[in-house]
Amino acid sequence: MNLNKVILIGNIAAEPELRSTSTGKNVCNFRIATNRIWKDAAGQQQKETEFHTIVAWGKLAEIASKYLAKGALAMVEGRLRTRS
C-alpha cells in the first residue's frame, strides 16, 4: 500500500490566480507560507519560512479563488508532488 498525503497549515502568501485550461477546466494556483520556530543551542529563537505552491482543480479551484486572500490562514490537504 502506498500513501501520499500532506496537510499544510499556513498563511496565503499571494492572491490566488484562477485560470482555465484550453479544455475549459478551471485551475487555481496560490502559495502558502509555513513557519518553523525553534530555539538554537544558545537559546535564541530561530524562524524558518517555507513556501509551497498549491494547485487546485475544477470546482475546488473556483472556491479557492473566491474565498482565499493574501495573509489569510488556511489548511490544505492533498497529495505531494515535487516539481522544479
Q: What digits encode the pLDDT tens for the residues 45-80?
A: 999 999 999 999 999 999 999 999 999 999 999 999
Query: Which residue is it, cell 499544510?
Result: 8
Q: Given the DSSP bridges, would you call strands 17-20 and 26-39 parallel, antiparallel or unpaired? A: antiparallel
Q: What digits encode the pLDDT tens for the residues 17-50?
A: 999 999 999 999 999 999 999 999 999 999 999 9
pTM for the structure as a whole: 0.85
Contacts of 12 (CB under 8 A, 6+ apart): 30, 31, 32, 33, 68, 69, 70, 71, 72, 74
15, pLDDT greater than 90: yes
84, pLDDT greater than 80: no
pLDDT at residue 66 in the model: 97
